[in-house]
Chain A
Amino acid sequence: MSDTSTTSVTPGSVNVSLSDVTKSFDGVVAVDQLNLTINDGEFFSLLGPSGCGKTTTLRMIGGFEEPTSGRIVLGGRDVTYTAPYHRDVNTVFQSYALFPHLDVYENVAFGLRRKKVAKDEVKKRVGAMLEIVDLPGYEKRRVNQLSGGQQQRIALARALVNEPALLLLDEPMSALDAKLRHQMQIELKSIQSRVGITFLYVTHDQEEAMTMSDRLVVMRQGKIEGIGSPQDVYDNPSTEFVATFLGASNLLAGTIASRGQEITAVALENGTTLQVPTARVATSTVGSVVKVGVRPEKIRIHVSGSTTTTGNTLRGRVRVSTFTGVGNQYIVEMASGEDITVYAQNIGEELAPRSGEEVELSWPIEHTFAVRPAENVISSDELAS
């Protein structure tokens, strides 16, 4: 594949679609009636804690697992029960899974040789691919002589060189250190836009998913909890799980007091009423229990009485104040005993409140959301990434 080549991708056309896909292992449901559509040329991520079914979903699309029920359609063709070697899909495996008995060249050429591509063509494409992953001249190296980052690039090259309709990536960066991972994220995104191939990326790392994806889904317990562009999903979380898994959220329990066209009022347990845009309330019935959320960086904090506040307002006392360089993190305890976390950027504007001081918290109504409380308690294991 050369830099000038353009792939015949119709943006927006459906690349792969899953309908009602369920997978259970010995009666345990790993993926539960999943419906998902990925468009051509998208960088799409499946994000979720370990055990949420994201890898199983990827393995079913790759052909390594058969769904218990449901259908997988790839490029208009039903591939639900098609063997992996008959699918126009390639995978970058978590452990890279390079062939230890072959050198770099033969590893990258493996797929092309199976497709009986002419020798000269193989040579040209492998060479061009090694350029793209920034490892030219590595043809004769043995794969076990390469560093983790290099092996990862070879695994990527080995899959991409076949120009598949869809590239699956199964936590490909989990073995890399943080710095290298960050660098590879940027590189991977740029390679994807250059080659124009649809990427389906599986990760438990929310930052990674947000950095690279055009769209993403957040999965939990085999189901989709949220879907959309990273900004959509972050700013307008659809469930309590999404709100806590993707970034941090302050969530306060309350009941819907009244519902208007534009604004819904939620009464907190301590008597305060918060206003939420009706479009951002997951359930509309008056009297139903919800959790009202606001992101820590959306909140303004100031010493009580120092300014007039607009929007939603809460009062409390600073329990912990931590200086992080780029800003301050406050944990503010309200009269109800609930804690609210606030990130204030270090722009040198205001005098930072100190521990023990009475403060007022305020934020614009449009940054407030309300979600239904999760049916199953969210464990700390699920949030650790």
Chain B
Amino acid sequence: MEQPLPAHHPGGVGSPRRHRGRGKGLAPYLLSLPAGLWLLVLFVVPLFIMLSITLKTCSPASGACVMTWQWGELPHVVNQYRGQFVTSLVFAFFATLIDLVISFPIAYWIAFYGGRRKNFFLIMLLVPFFVSFIIRTLVWEFILSNNGVVLSFLRGNHLVPSSFHVLGTGLAVVAGLAYNYLPFTALPLYVALERIDRRVLNAANDLYATRRVTFMRVILPLAIPGIFAAFLLTFIPAFGDYVNQEILGGTSNTMIGTVIQNLFLIDSDYAGGASLSAVLLVISLLGIWLYARLLGSRTIEEYL
């Protein structure tokens, strides 16, 4: 490939050649233009629209919003929906925890014992997730329903009381969240474990570390950035999720995502919905900020 000509290059005196050099300098910017526009139009602009709505007052009847610079809506909705925030935090936390516990051995096994079939195992892990999110969740509804295979079997064998049910409880929501976000946990964990230099593990064995000590003193510390990344990548979307709660949950365990959806689509309270969304955004950013502070911003580029 031809390098851009330096300005003092004797052959670069003629203007056409210089022109070409400048065109090459612009190439990276031109190449990033489509992605940049995409990000601007479909992400940055809507974000500012949403943030601006928090300062507007909207008429519930017509849905029309007028800028009033009132930010009172923010503390108001946070206060009003504090319970749903807590529910979301608890559900998302437990779902993420379950995912970490399930994914770690899977990722560990694939990374260390997958051999030449690593990619095959990874694809096997991901294949179920090629099916639409909604359909998968609906199938869980079917599986966990009172007359579904699982509960019929358990009741039939008198393993659970006849009044026992899962659907409509927090347990069902946590299970649904854990199921739906599993790849977001498993993949960063896999990446973190896969990149650990095997020779470093040999060195630990060589320096009298048993397999257990090697795991605790070398593998786990080296996997920490991946574990944290897996936590964030699972926790953040699970926290804002409303589909699992809508389909699998009941009326008593509403999550904040459902509240936002209702405010926008049913109550036409755009300012309230936007305010809650802004809070959700800040909480997510706090998580990423914490990650950068603790583990450095370079690891963010590698995992998130």
- A residues contacting B by CB (< 8 A) are 62-64, 83-85, 89-91, 93, 95, 97-101, 110-111, 114-115, 158-159, 162
Contact = CB atoms under 8 A, between A and B. Distances in A.
Interface stretch (B24-32, B71-79, B109-117, B196-204): B196-204
Interface string B183-224: 000000000000001011011111111100100011001100
A89 to B, nearest CB: 8
5 contacts: A98-B200, A99-B204, A100-B200, A111-B208, A114-B213
B294 to A, nearest CB: 13
B209 A114 contact: yes
Contact of B197 (A64, A90, A97, A158): A97
A64 B218 CA distance: 17
A99 B200 contact: yes
3 closest A-B pairs by beta carbon, nearest first, are: A111-B207, A114-B208, A97-B203
Nearest to B210: A85
Contacts of B210: 83, 85
Contact of B206 (A85, A98, A100): A85
Nearest to A87: B206
Nearest to B224: A101
Nearest to B201: A97
A149 to B, nearest CB: 19
B206 A62 contact: yes
A97 B199 contact: yes
A93 B199 contact: yes
A95 B217 CA distance: 20
Given A100-B222, A101-B222, A93 B207 contact: no
Contacts of A62: 206
A83 to B, nearest CB: 7
Interface residues of B, dominant DSSP: helix
Interface of B: 197, 199-200, 202-210, 213, 217-218, 221-222
B216 to A, nearest CB: 11
B209 A110 contact: yes
B155 to A, nearest CB: 50
A84 B202 contact: yes
Nearest to B197: A97
Q: Which among A63, A111, A159 has the highest number of chain B CB atoms within 10 Å?
A: A111
Nearest to B205: A84
Contacts of B197: 95, 97, 100
A85 B205 contact: yes
Nearest to B218: A99
A90 B205 contact: no
Given A99-B218, A114-B213, A93 B208 contact: no
B205 A63 contact: yes
Given A97-B202, A99-B204, 18 more contacts: A62-B206, A63-B205, A63-B206, A83-B205, A85-B206, A85-B207, A85-B208, A89-B206, A95-B197, A97-B199, A97-B200, A99-B218, A101-B218, A114-B209, A115-B208, A158-B207, A159-B207, A162-B208
Contacts of B199: 93, 95, 97
A194 to B, nearest CB: 22
Contacts of A91: 202-203, 206
A368 to B, nearest CB: 46
A97 B209 CA distance: 15
Contacts of B222: 100-101
B208 A101 contact: no
Nearest to A164: B206
Contacts of B203: 91, 93, 97-99, 158
Nearest to B217: A110
A90 B200 contact: no
Contacts of B213: 114
A91 B218 CA distance: 17
Nearest to A83: B205
B207 to A, nearest CB: 4
A120 to B, nearest CB: 20
B221 A101 contact: yes
A143 B222 CA distance: 14
A267 to B, nearest CB: 53
A350 to B, nearest CB: 53
B220 to A, nearest CB: 10
A84 B205 CA distance: 6
Contacts of A99: 200, 203-204, 218
Contact of B205 (A64, A95, A158, A162): A64
B97 to A, nearest CB: 24
Contacts of B208: 85, 111, 114-115, 162
Q: Which among B197, B206, B210, B213 has the highest number of chain A CB atoms within 10 Å?
A: B206
A137 B208 CA distance: 26
A100 B202 CA distance: 14
Contacts of A100: 197, 200, 222
A99 B196 CA distance: 10
Nearest to B214: A85
Nearest to B208: A114
